[in-house]
Structure 1
Amino acid sequence: MSNKITISLDAMGGDTGPQTVLPGADLVLTRCPDIHFILFGDSKVLEPMLDRLPRLKAASELVHTDVSIEMDEKPSQALRKGRGKSSMWQAIAAVKEGRADVAVSAGNTGALMAMSKFCLRTMPGIERPAIAAIWPTMRGESIVLDVGATVGADAQQLIDFAILGGAMARSVQGIQTPTVGLLNIGVEEVKGVEEVRTAAKMLREMSPPNIVYTGFVEGDDIGKGTVDVVVTEGFAGNIALKTAEGTAKQLAGYLRAAMSRTLMAKIGYLFAKGAFDRLREKMDPRKVNGGVFLGLNGIVIKSHGGTDAEGFASAVELAHDMAKNELIKKISQDLGDYHRGRFNLNDEKSEG
């Protein structure tokens, strides 16, 4: 078991709960056979389903919980109701206690963030965590954060997000010194709100280790893949994420309508089916499912609540890769290097 990656799952989270979680977990075992699962949920519901999934049953430990968090519960209500005894809380607590390397839930985002912050606490020097998303681009993939955890981040928090996103790029994508840009309404230094301009000035002056700050980026740069890491606050980031998801669905709808409109269009589709299949796969949001809570003393992955088994498997695969590539260790190293650099810079300024 020492070579295994242990992943704790909130088996009751999401729009369909175990009907998606268990088949998704079973599916990912084909690609990542070194996973051991700890499943938290109602054993009366889960045991019959596990009997139909013998591979998953053999790779799992089942822990019964009486409480599950509803998708529409307020974070404060969920914390009071589920602290210590819900499937969501216990999946997170398994990471805190060292029984699991990473937790995955498709449950209520606000509740998951509240419980994760309360249970795991933020890392030294980090005031607020961020949710990072992997974004398909014309050059491959970029990391965008924050996409919903911290609304109205100040300059220091934006710099923290840059460090966190850079560590994630190094861990998951294997980029030694990722490029980082601040999302803004223009690339000119005089544009944007004060906090973004201040963060840009501080990043230029400090030159944090392990990342290369390239300046401001605009909304269209996200899809272009202009930088490896795009940093923004949670309000703008969440709108950008939802807009991109909606646009992808809109384009897919346009294509389906166009290809079925006439007989010639249907014949043309048959000739171009391979190209359309590749396009559909590239635009499939299930392939990049999984928001990562960064800045906590442990890894928590949020899967989309309405995804299917394939989408949930993608979130679990992401969790596996982050644990295997020691994301927390890389973040700790990068934060340590950054804070040492800050102190040295402040010392130089005071001497001058």
Structure 2
Amino acid sequence: MAGATGEPDSILRVSVEACGKFCPHDLTFTATQSRRDRGKIAQRNFRKREADKVSDLKKTHERLRRLVQEVVLASRDDDQTALNHAIAEAGRAIGLEENDSSDSKSRSLSQEHGTSTAFVSNAVTFEIPEKLFDGDPRRPPICHNRSGRMSPRFDYGIWIDPERFFKILEPSADIRPYVGTRRHTVAGHITWATLDYGYACLREAIMFQMGRDIDIEELPESLPPGSAARRLFDVSVRHTKQLHDIAYIMDLVEARLEFDKLGYMRSNTRGADEPSRQVLEGQVLGGLRARGVRLDQWLSALDIEAHIRHQMGILEFSAFQTALSQKQSIQTQLLMPLARTLAHRGVCFGDGPRWNVTYVTALVHAWVSHISNMGV
């Protein structure tokens, strides 16, 4: 019957041809689109998870910083009740239950203020350089214990996890020309001698503030007129109001010395925040330009190095620079008096210290003449 009418065969044939023409393409397209959709969804979910992780880390970090601040301030104010509460909160934040520390708490109560205060005092320490320049310009540390809001040192021992922060392995733009192979050059020695001197003076200012009931905003004008800290303020940062935040400038210098010492900056310090430093740099340079200051009359350490090269001659300077890079003691000892003298006259421009061209010209001329007479 099928053969007689022809209709079922024709219908079957058309159906088969239609499936052969359209179905595979439609199925392939649908499968590809489905894979793409699944991939997009997976990527979106991954980005959301990563964003949530970063947000959680920031919240945890801010909470821990707040808890540590409460411990330090309670110790500073000698408020034992607040101190015990702050320590308990900090313990819970890192997973220590109160019963885990009951023995130590009992000892703390039996000894009145001794143990708890000593814990905080010993935890919050800093290093004081014995001499600013003594052979190699790196400073030999002498440890002193104290508590306080501001703490000029390289590490906060109250934290338990030594890897609590991300390490910034790239140097900030202002010190990039003076690290690595450029560390032991004329410009490198000048820069790090200036930062060393600045650190010592800023530390003196912070310690002066800590020993007296002085608000940090009033600190600059409260410094003794004859002190090194006051001279640094008058010479280096008085010219621009944005530089009067002594605590922040201290953080910037400390972070750079940390990079020079360890090869990285801790990301959880204000001094390592490069965008903020660049904002400060823009404010300082913009303000100076608006007041008519000619920036070409102020030389960086690299500019001074180029001027010394011109004064000494290419061959003599090349030999001198090579000896410095090899840490030869004679050339280093000859350069350090110049570097130290410049350190006392460096002016902060937000992107590092600079020096007046007239002063540099006279000083470098005298120094080059001196070492030439010595036959170096």
Tell me the TM-score normalized by structure 1: 0.24
Larger proportion of helix: 2
Tell me the TM-score normalized by structure 2: 0.23
